[in-house]
Structure 1
Amino acid sequence: MAKAMEDGMYAKATKPIGELFWLALTGGAYIALGFIFFVTTQQGVGPTSGLPIGVTKLIGGLVFSTGLMLVVMSGSDLFTGTTMSLMPTLSKRLSWGMMARHWAVSYIGNLVGALIVVAIIALAKTPLSNGGAWGLVVVNTTQGKLSLGFVQAIALGVMANLAVCLAVWMAFAGRSATDKMLGIAGPIAFFVATGFEHSVANMFMLPMGWVITHVFGAEFWGSDAVQAAGVTQADFSSVTISNIVLHNLLPVTIGNIIGGALFVGGYFWVAYRRKALAEERAAAQAAAAPAEKADGVDRTDGGSHSAR
């Protein structure tokens, strides 16, 4: 599995930039679709909904996993998963520069893909559905994400991408579409239901919250659900572009890199690939030694003496 994951990450990281970006667009867009599904299931959640909060969060986490299922099954490129391209880099198959290129193109492509979905959902006026209940879930979620402390957001990001990369690992282990989807569902439901932070998911949710707060105007703030909640636009003054970038996306991205690159990719590289590579090199050297002696030169000490 470690070798298969390393090979997969190497294959993605060495694609031409245009192809990488193209696949990253759908990576960001499909995770956005998962978050849309999540928001839809969370409308009306509260003390009067009749469901325990844990159950509603579990439902939200399970439906959100649809996003990663679409990413994996379509072969799209997701920044949080690409952090595991550290594996072929540690094996010296991929340069640090190529790894950084992969991460950068994937991140930018995911952001553009997520923002395209934000624009489509805004044009569709989905936030106004059910008397504004859909949009209310988004702005409340956005405000909650922007209230996190910097270190807290990093820690939540670590846990989110630990789960996401383990879900990708489980998908690699699956032999059928059903195997892969079941492998993905558990870890993703775990991270979403618990409230961990995923940078690519937030590339949709936070800009969507900003658009609802600053663009929709009286049509949203005067809707039935918003009026019943007793909130106004002034209550969401923290939803600004600078807060989105500095107070969430930046620390969450740092945490995602730690959780995916170090705690999954790097961890299992040390557990499995480091020893295997050492054994492969030793075997290659042993196989090469007789051939080197046969041509009349002993190269075992650097080739400085002729064989006698």
Structure 2
Amino acid sequence: MANLKSSGKEIQRLESQRLPAVEVSRLQTALEELKNCAATDCRPPAEMAVKMEAVGVAKANGNIWTISLLGILAGFFIGLGAMFCTLVTTDIQVGFGLTKLLGGVVFCLGLILVVLAGAELFTGNALMVASRASGKIKLSQLFQNWGIVYFTNLVGSLLLVAVVFYSQFWALDGYKVGVNALSIANAKVNLAFWPAFARGILCNTLVCLAVWLCFGARSTIDKVFAILFPITAFVACGFEHSIANMYFIPMGIVMAGQAKVLEVAGVTASQVANLNVAGFIGNLVPVTLGNIVGGTFVGSIYWLAYLRKERAAEAATARPWLTGMFSRPGLQPQQVNYLDAETKALISVLAKARDDSAFLAKLADNPDKALKAYKLTPEAKAALESGDVRWLESRVGVLDEPLRTWLTSRLAQEKW
């Protein structure tokens, strides 16, 4: 903490030397980040909800090609976790419960890679419903993201299946790894619709809780432990994850065509007849629907608990029938007033800059003085001074078209 204090004094010294305002703001932002790193506790749930909403906005406004590439990576990463799980649970003699537990622990590799390495996972993106509930993204943006990510997750999973097949990984331990892959997939394609749907709900409830806990994490190790227990639980309990099944079932379909695997497994082709494209789709449909319900449940509950009051005016304007619901005393959430104040301040600054040329000139020449009357964090000030449109939109949602057009045209000509 002594270092943080000295950093604060250094910023004050630099300010006294009249460094460019944007440089001072960047130093202040860096100091805030250092304070976050020094904190030992996780973020409180109210802050986690704010972060969940902001992440959803950023995802909805992300570049399609970037999202597609990250979607392929996520399918590949989850497949790696599924592959690891298949290996570890092959021919293991430690009892039913421990076998499931070990499989769940090693499967965590998939989500750890998604969260830490960076990737777009369909099941985790179900939490974007919070951004939609706040009116910060359009329904079309939500569905577009889900559609692109779901398809690219499938591409990544199938790519891994092809690589694993040609690697002869499945021939390990006298083809018993292939037998285990066959058994896992066969059980999944023979699961009835409603059990698959219910298991999909339970699965993505746990997956999204893991992602939710990661929003409260301040370090890498925090995120690993946030992922470990929920993901281990869903795998150990046999719940159904649509993206994991994009690896498990195609791998089983490939194994069903290997005579040596069938021989070691002691089964005939007729006993695994459901391992085909129809069986694959028959599993994906209920599991995907269940995953959407489970993830939407988590995102909606936390939005209602922590963000509803701050977004009530916006939501009530768009959906008048919600007005009565928001006004019920028993449904009042915790206060998160600072975000609401900053959001209003950001919009107010942008609108005034558009309508008042004198204020715009002051913002360009002396941003510290122009922004003095507004309640803004150092990060927000730095974004306004540098014209960071992407950051501004991630905080206030998509700007209305006239304001965004004006801002973009100004930045194309000069700083402001």
Normalised-by-shorter TM-score class: 0.7 to 0.9
CA–CA separation in structure 2 for the residues paired with 1:147 and 1:36: 21
The amino acid across from 2:300 in the alignment is G
CA–CA separation in structure 2 for the residues paired with 1:136 and 1:195: 18
> Aligned match of 1:180 in 223, 228, 234?
223
The amino acid across from 1:77 in the alignment is E
| 230-239 or 4-13, which deviates more | 230-239
Whether 1:26 and 2:60 are equivalent positions in the alignment is no
Whether 1:122 and 2:165 are equivalent positions in the alignment is yes
Whether 1:84 and 2:127 are equivalent positions in the alignment is yes
SS at match of 1:74: helix
Aligned position for 1:156: 199
Runs of 4+ in 1 over 3 A off after TM superposition: 278-281
Aligned residue runs from structure 1 range 108-119, under 5 A: 108-119=151-162
Shift of 1:220: 2.8
The amino acid across from 1:201 in the alignment is A
Shift of 1:97: 0.2
SS at match of 1:79: coil
Aligned position for 1:106: 149
Aligned position for 1:37: 84
CA–CA separation in structure 2 for the residues paired with 1:41 and 1:208: 16
Aligned position for 1:267: 301
CA–CA separation in structure 2 for the residues paired with 1:52 and 1:123: 32
The amino acid across from 1:273 in the alignment is L
Aligned residue runs from structure 1 range 140-289, under 5 A: 140-214=183-257, 216=258, 218-222=259-263, 226=264, 229-246=265-282, 248-261=283-296, 263-278=297-312, 280=340
Whether 1:6 and 2:53 are equivalent positions in the alignment is yes
Shift of 1:52: 2.0
CA–CA separation in structure 2 for the residues paired with 1:147 and 1:71: 29
Shift of 1:153: 0.7
1:157-201 Cα offsets, whole Å, 9 max, x none, are 000000000001111211111110011000000000000000000
SS at match of 1:129: helix
CA–CA separation in structure 1 for the residues paired with 2:291 and 2:172: 33
Aligned position for 2:138: 95
The TM-score, its normalising length taken from structure 2, stands at 0.63
The amino acid across from 1:245 in the alignment is I
CA contact (8 A) 2:71 2:156 kept: yes
Q: Give % identity.
A: 39
CA separation of 1:2 and 1:123: change in aligned 2, threshold 3 A: same
Aligned position for 1:69: 112
> Gaps spanning 5+ residues in structure 1: where?
289-308
The amino acid across from 2:280 in the alignment is I
The amino acid across from 2:254 in the alignment is V
The amino acid across from 2:159 in the alignment is I
1:119-178 Cα offsets, whole Å, 9 max, x none, are 000111111111111011111111111121111111000000000000011112111111
Shift of 1:219: 3.4
CA–CA separation in structure 2 for the residues paired with 1:268 and 1:184: 18
Shift of 1:12: 1.4
CA–CA separation in structure 1 for the residues paired with 2:308 and 2:164: 46
Number of positions where the alignment pairs a residue of Structure 1 with one of Structure 2 = 273
Shift of 1:234: 2.5
CA contact (8 A) 2:78 2:243 kept: yes
CA–CA separation in structure 2 for the residues paired with 1:158 and 1:202: 15
The amino acid across from 2:217 in the alignment is G
Aligned position for 2:180: 137
The amino acid across from 2:274 in the alignment is S
SS at match of 1:175: coil
Aligned position for 1:305: none
Shift of 1:249: 0.2
Provide the alpha-carbon RMSD of the alignment.
1.8
Shift of 1:284: 5.4
The TM-score, its normalising length taken from structure 1, stands at 0.85
The amino acid across from 1:43 in the alignment is T
The amino acid across from 1:256 in the alignment is N
The structure with more radius of gyration: 2
> Aligned match of 1:16 in 55, 63, 78?
63
SS at match of 1:212: helix
